Structure 1
Amino acid sequence: ASLLQTNAFKNVRFDFKTNSLNRRQVLELVYTAERTGVGAYLGAIPFFETKTYLQTAGAIQGTEARHTAVIAAVLNKLYGANIAVAPPANVNNGIDSPLAPDDVLAAVSPFIVL
């Protein structure tokens, strides 16, 4: 919040409505959230005005990517899903794709309670 100063949202809550979901649906929701986080951090890089927070953002993005891989592996193992645990080499050269801020906001807006 200190980086955002007065632009930070205050008193934001999230509601993922998991009470009405079964185990697979919760895992799919978590997978989507983690994958969105990966793209969000990559998409934010061009907006950094200084390098001060780039290392932290890179570390968080890496953690989000590992979370995504684990959830994909769990969905594959438990439910026979066919989700790649890493970006395929033939898609963006095997590199995670960035998401534009507007795309991130559209993806997470249904869960934000202001």
Structure 2
Amino acid sequence: MLEHLTRNAPTSLLERIAENPRTHSTTLARLASHEDFEVRAAVADNLNTSIKTIWKLARDTHADVRFRVAECYSVPLVVLKVLAEDENPHVAFRAQKTVWRILKEVTELRTA
């Protein structure tokens, strides 16, 4: 049923499915290939998104998708470091800012 929905549902519903914390990683991987960039961007925020899918989204042709990946604290630092060198300055800055905030939080935890 969900597979049928991912092909035929309205974009707004697919975004909600992508954001749902109970959505399985295989469904998220399918949604990461959707033609609408907003659906792909919504996949980036889901903690169930596999690392393979995160890498795919980090190389997406649409800057808004890469930006969403760049602002996620749950993605590996290596992905953020790659995005920190993105051709789009907004994506690059957002990734740098996310890395900085993660490192700041780690430092604060160590000194607490």
**Structure with the greater alpha carbon radius of gyration:** 1
Structure of higher RCO (CA pairs closer than 8 Å, 6+ residues apart): 1
User: How high is the TM-score relative to the length of structure 1?
Assistant: 0.30
User: How high is the TM-score relative to the length of structure 2?
Assistant: 0.31
Greater per-residue helix proportion: 2
